[in-house]
Chains A and B, each alone.
Chain A
Amino acid sequence: MDDSIAMQVTRYRPDKNSQPVPVDYEVPLRTEWTVLDGLNHIKAEQDETLSFRWSCRMGICGSCGMNVNGEPRLTCATFLSDYAPGPVRVEPLANFPVVKDLIVDITDFMEKLPRVKPWIIRDDDVTEIDGEYIQTPEELEAYQQFSMCINCMLCYAACPVYGLDPDFVGPAAIALAERYDLDSRDRGSRERLDVLIEKEGVWGCTFVGECTSVCPKHVDPAGAIQRYKLKAAQESVKAFLLPKALRR
């Protein structure tokens, strides 16, 4: 193995650059080094101004998503040696406005998330807690996969629909809606469907499935979207046939 590898990193400073520019760096190539280690090496040894987000460096906080050689990746879980002999191209996640260098603006997702009501909705009003809601391992299994989303935004960066139509609620938010719908403790599926049935809800998705294939936590947002389309279709048939009071 060579002892160094080239990293081509996209730089952008809003106060200086009119558009992003690629800059070449050379970093040590070590088997245990991730792309994030390479970026941290650049920041510590070559250019302190390089800006990127990171925190847990163990693939769970969701901060360090970037496009690596064109693919959305968690850089703390992507190894430089897998790209040898290089160069490794590191760009900000696609489909988001860039704030600076490798940092993108995810305000849009943060505003969309509450709209799908990602919390337990009950029809009883519990004031005093005197025990757990019973949930069997099978019932847990039913939604578990969808509860693994770390909000890393890789699926938004991979989604061609979100790229064209920023109003689309998008894969992670829909997967989280489904996570609560499938939770045996929840009674809120009707409320969420009302949101997702809207024009900007699930309809934009064209079933490319890129969201599912880039997910670092093996969540299946494409599956969630498909299920919502089915639920929405059933709902519109009901709406056509039944007076409002009888739907549910």
Chain B
Amino acid sequence: MSEGATTAAHDVLLVGGGAAGLRAAIAIAETRPDLDVAVVSKVYPMRSHTVSAEGGAAGVMADDDSIEEHIYDTISGSDWLGDQDAIEAFVNEAPRELLQLEHWGCPWSRQDDGRIAVRAFGGMKKMRTWFAADKTGFHMLHALFQTSLKYRAVKRYDESFVTRLLVDEGRVYGVVSVELATGRIRAITAKAVVLATGGCGKVFPFTTNANINTGDGMALAYRAGAPLKDMEFVQYHPTGLPFTGILITEATRAEGGWLLNKDGYRYLQDYDLGTPTDKPTLRSMELGPRDRLSQAFVHEVEKGRTTDSPWGPIVHLDLRHLGAKLIDTKLPMVRELCLQYERIDPVTDLIPVRPVVHYMMGGVHTDIDGRAGLDGLYAAGETACVSINGANRLGSNSLPECLVFGARAGRAAAEDAAAAPAPPAAIAAQVSDETRRLEHLLARDTPLDDGVARIREELQTTMEDAAGIYRTGPSLEKGADTFQALRERVGAVGVRDTSPSFNTELVAALELENLIDIGECILRSGLAREESRGAHQRTDFPKRDDERFLVHHTVRRDHDGNPSVDRLPVTITRWPPGERTYGR
């Protein structure tokens, strides 16, 4: 790794090859074929975490549905923290994006007459969720990836890990990356950079997220001086499998599944979510929003009405009354996952489930075209916070979010790049600095009694204790204190693997730096928000407080390297803040 860095140059660089990154790449290739576009990703694009999304993608399509209703559901789902101009644009453009995916071969499930089928989803008043059985993300990702192969102009750097953004006088000019196979350090310059690296679930110990979801894009932006936004809002999905944290899709409940406590009682009726009906009722009971369902679980634990398992308390998801035929057609992966990982069959057995960290509402602060807080920098998908999700995302809004804002960010970045100056000579010094830093990290001895895996585990546990489904000022403070000590250890830890080729320990050490920055931003933003809204529930401030906190929090790295929290108005256009009601 010591021969210094090599350099490649492009017009637009996408960091991340999931739904948002690939959609952006195709948008650029289609609208500006004269531009040179490249995708850099730490995994092969078809391994990206989009692949794990199950239930579906929302877009107004059915005759009885309307744009207005999808907008309202999303705004109330966000607990009025979503920006209404962004939500309007999103809802308007989602159906077209989903149709575009259909034209690119996505195998959407169909009605008998061959038209697109839609299903119900949590917090949605109408059936508007497009689905490809329960492998929606997998099919969308492969359709996007395979379609992207058609555009030979799209250059790829597969299995390359980005370690730093190159910035000069407030403008981004590319990245430094490590090519994993060889360990070669490569500067990739670009006139515009789009971050699309997905979420940061690995900040927590128990998550549906893949191993790769370490908040890389958020941390890159943050360290380069761009603000993150709404980082205190972490979504717990109510139904993950114990031990593995594997997601059991909300579509199980949309198709009619029930959540039962240890007495076989549909406990959601006790939490202002409506009354049980045999057939699912939209915006009611099991089809309530994720924040409220995960919170109800905690109260069931407190009441002693959950079942103990080796992996903590659980409740049960009951699909038995749906029958094998429906499960095999509409939820085949759920059956596959249960058989494989729990050795139970949902056709005849109850599925043990518990809430699990699933999605980051916060992210890199952007405007409606993906513009982040530095010139030439863009972000889209879970990495970004536009914000359409506010304090709580509705299930099936995130896949179309990747498409709508991936395409928007791609187009805006392309226009920007076409007019932008060439990278200045000054960034060469940053490339050398970064090369030295990486070489130093590789050469550094690790303390005998410490290591990346150990620190990561302690960091994750700290986050769960400090910033779980319910938080308090003292729990967040304590977490922030522990982070000081963790940060020192991260600073001292080295890499025992000295080989240049495919150094996964080096990658894990770099990811750990990202996790600690992101975790700290979550804790600091959470401390600053002295109210309860959506997924951010403070038991010491149990009420929503629109007077003080109908604002976004931005968090920026100050001159001493500490997170500094600031406020930003929420865009309210036609929907004044109101009460969030479900099941009534």
Contacts and interface: CB of A to CB of B under 8 A. Distances in A.
B52 A114 contact: no
Interface string B295-332: 00000000000000000000000000000000000000
Given A56-B52, A57-B246, A62-B46, A180 B497 contact: no
Nearest to A122: B103
Interface string A106-118: 1000100110011
A136 B114 contact: yes
A144 B112 CA distance: 16
Interface string A151-181: 1000000000000000000000000100010
Contacts of A100: 499, 501-502
A139 B114 contact: yes
B504 interface: yes
B512 to A, nearest CB: 12
Contacts, number: 159
A48 B181 CA distance: 18
B135 interface: yes
Nearest to A100: B502
B178 to A, nearest CB: 14
Interface residues of B, number: 62
Contacts of B47: 55-56, 61-63
A113 B116 CA distance: 29
Given A32-B243, A57-B211, A61-B52, A44 B453 contact: yes
Given A119-B105, A119-B147, A180-B105, A14 B138 contact: no
Q: Interface size class for chain A?
A: 35 or more
A43 B502 contact: no
A105 B504 CA distance: 15
Interface string B463-504: 000000000000000000000000000000001110111111
Contacts of B139: 147
Given A44-B453, A100-B501, A118 B149 contact: yes
B114 A135 contact: yes
A59 interface: yes
A132 interface: yes
B115 interface: yes
A148 B333 CA distance: 11
A193 interface: no
A144 B505 contact: no
Contacts of A13: 499, 501
A129 B453 contact: no
Interface stretch (B94-102, B189-197, B550-558, B566-574): B94-102
B438 interface: no
Tell me which of A53, A55, A151 has the highest count of chain B C-beta atoms within 10 A of its own C-beta.
A55
B282 to A, nearest CB: 24
Interface string A60-100: 11110000000000000100000000000000000000011
A60 B333 CA distance: 10
Nearest to B102: A132
A43 B43 contact: no
A1 B337 CA distance: 24
B349 to A, nearest CB: 16
15 contacts: A48-B452, A55-B210, A58-B341, A59-B336, A62-B46, A101-B502, A105-B181, A114-B149, A117-B150, A119-B147, A132-B116, A133-B102, A133-B103, A134-B115, A150-B138
> Closest 9 interchain pairs by CB?
A134-B114, A44-B453, A49-B497, A114-B149, A136-B114, A118-B146, A120-B105, A55-B210, A100-B502
Interface of A: 13-16, 32, 43-45, 48-49, 51-63, 77, 99-101, 103, 105-106, 110, 113-114, 117-120, 126, 129, 131-137, 139-140, 143-144, 147-151, 176, 180, 183, 185-186
Given A62-B51, A119-B104, 16 more contacts: A32-B243, A48-B451, A48-B452, A49-B505, A51-B502, A60-B52, A61-B46, A61-B210, A99-B501, A100-B499, A110-B44, A126-B103, A132-B116, A137-B109, A137-B110, A176-B146
